[in-house]
């Protein structure tokens, strides 16, 4: 099972520019989480801070007893081996075949024999649907295939935490849908804790158990997906609705006068429908995170906003009704 990631009071700046401040959240073990936010809100910086590649000025990131901000470098280096990181562009070596790109972490960080490396690499290549392409160079394949190769490389060290940095960038809607299903299928197979940074609304609507959003140097919210999907926070409504009216501007935040003028002429927003979360592909095991998440969410449901509470109860009631319909009748069978 994946490992819980606890973030406490994280604050990061570059010089005088504050990126975000006092970010606190918990990525539940084995669940899939998404971090949304407009471009330029520090989502990638957040990922790099979790893995210890960037050092925030304040706060802690606790993973299996190690603080990725303040612990000795040797402890951080060892804990980093628990992670698999999928970069935006796949970050593949252009002169190496896909096989050698995916094998690179094993050759770099383990003493496995080449026969064992080949077995592991080919297993991961099959998982991401790239069998037959292992001999190709990154420049000879599509962007979507490079993404999947990057994901395969992130998986070869059997990570317990997977970080995906805008896995949809450069992909068309159909390939994005395939990628979304692949991420859910992976979670079903390896039960890793996953955090996906994206501004893609299709991924946000269908993949995660939990959702958060960064804006104006703050964490707007983080929690069960229903909390953000039913939120009436202006920035959340604007982002999820893809509208120009709201706090997010083209190049910078809007001032109060602009927001007031927009409010006067704004059309009412259409009611939001929470679409069902993706399920693993046929033949794969159910996601173990589903039962853990249900127990966790129901234990905190009285602390959630009313709209989120209603959405959660409706979802679980619908799931229970569907399970009743599909359950075999007692005494029946071949």
pLDDT digits (tens, 9 = 90+) for 124-178: 999 888 999 999 999 999 888 888 899 999 999 999 999 999 888 878 888 889 8
- Same domain for 159 and 54: yes
Instruction: Using a pLDDT cut of 70, give the percent of the chain over it.
Output: 90
- Same domain for 125 and 35: yes
- Same domain for 294 and 218: no
- Same domain for 293 and 194: no
- Same domain for 46 and 166: yes
Q: Do residues 32 and 196 lie in contact, with contact meaning Cβ atoms separated by under 8 Å?
A: yes
- Same domain for 118 and 17: yes
Is residue 209 one of the residues assigned to a domain?
yes
Is residue 199 one of the residues assigned to a domain?
yes
Is residue 30 one of the residues assigned to a domain?
yes
Per-residue model confidence as pLDDT tens digits over 252-278: 555 555 655 555 555 555 556 788 999
Strand partners, 162: 84, 194
In this prediction the pTM is 0.88
Exposure of 305 in the CB half-sphere (CA atoms within 13 A): 15
Longest dimension (CA), the chain: 72
Residues shown for the chain:
334
What pLDDT, on the 0 to 100 scale, is given for residue 59? 96
Q: Could you list the residue range(s) of the whole structural domain that residue 308 is in? A: 288-324
Domain boundary among 206, 224, 242: 224
- Same domain for 29 and 161: yes
Is residue 232 one of the residues assigned to a domain?
no
Total domains in the fold of the chain: 2
Is residue 262 one of the residues assigned to a domain?
no
- Same domain for 311 and 175: no
Residue 35 to residue 208: CA distance in whole angstroms:
10
β-pairing verdict for 58-63 and 66-67: antiparallel
- Same domain for 171 and 80: yes
Apex 9 CA angle, 8 and 13, nearest 5: 130
Is residue 61 one of the residues assigned to a domain?
yes
- Same domain for 146 and 58: yes
CATH number, domain of 76, equals: 3.40.50.300
Residue 203: both structure tokens together: 């991924």
Q: Strand 32-36's sheet: what is its strand order? A: 83-86, 161-165, 193-197, 32-36, 210-215, 218-224
Q: Do residues 184 and 209 lie in contact, with contact meaning Cβ atoms separated by under 8 Å?
A: no
- Same domain for 34 and 162: yes
* Cα 55 versus chain centre, distance: 21
Domain boundary among 224, 247, 279: 224
Is residue 333 one of the residues assigned to a domain?
no
Domain boundary among 197, 224, 251: 224
Per-residue model confidence as pLDDT tens digits over 297-332: 999 999 999 999 999 999 898 888 877 776 665 555
Q: Buried (b) or exposed (e) across 91-106, using 16+ Cβ within 10 A? A: ebeeeebbbbbbbbbb
Per-residue model confidence as pLDDT tens digits over 28-38: 999 999 999 88
- Same domain for 299 and 173: no
Is residue 261 one of the residues assigned to a domain?
no
Contacts 24+ apart (CB under 8 A), 39-45: 39/199, 41/214, 41/215, 42/12, 42/214, 42/217, 43/165, 43/166, 43/197, 43/214, 44/88, 44/165, 44/166, 44/197, 45/12, 45/19, 45/20
């Amino acid at each position: 099972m994946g490992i819980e990631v606890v973030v406490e009071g994280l604050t990061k700046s570059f010089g005088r520019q504050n990126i975000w401040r006092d970010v606190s959240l918990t990525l539940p073990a084995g669940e899939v989480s998404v971090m949304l936010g407009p471009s330029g809100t520090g989502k990638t910086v957040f990922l790099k801070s979790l893995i210890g590649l960037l050092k925030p000025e304040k706060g802690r990131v606790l993973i299996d007893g190690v603080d990725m901000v303040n612990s000795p470098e040797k402890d951080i280096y060892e804990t980093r081996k628990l992670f698999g990181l999928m970069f935006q562009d796949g970050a593949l070596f252009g002169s190496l075949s896909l096989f050698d790109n995916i094998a690179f972490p094993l050759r770099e960080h383990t003493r496995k024999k080449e026969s064992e490396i080949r077995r592991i690499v080919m297993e991961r290549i099959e998982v991401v649907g790239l069998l037959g392409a292992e001999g190709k160079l990154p420049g000879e394949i599509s962007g979507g295939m490079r993404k999947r190769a990057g994901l395969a490389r992130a998986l070869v060290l059997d990570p317990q935490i997977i970080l995906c940095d805008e896995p949809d960038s450069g992909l068309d809607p159909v390939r994005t849908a395939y990628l979304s299903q692949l991420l859910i299928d992976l979670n079903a197979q390896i039960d890793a804790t996953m955090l996906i940074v994206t501004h893609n609304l299709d991924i946000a609507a269908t993949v995660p158990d939990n959702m958060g959003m960064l804006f104006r140097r703050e964490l707007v919210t983080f929690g069960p997906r229903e909390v953000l999907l039913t939120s009436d926070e202006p920035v959340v409504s604007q982002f999820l609705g893809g509208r120009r009216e709201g706090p997010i501007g083209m190049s910078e935040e809007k001032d109060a006068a602009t927001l007031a003028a927009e409010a006067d002429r704004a059309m009412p927003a259409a009611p939001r429908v929470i679409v069902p979360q993706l399920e693993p592909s046929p033949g794969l095991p159910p996601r173990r995170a589903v039962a853990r998440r249900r127990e966790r969410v129901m234990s905190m449901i009285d602390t959630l906003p009313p709209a989120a509470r209603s959405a959660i109860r409706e979802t679980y009631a619908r799931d229970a009704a569907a399970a009743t319909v599909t359950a075999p009748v007692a005494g029946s069978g071949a």
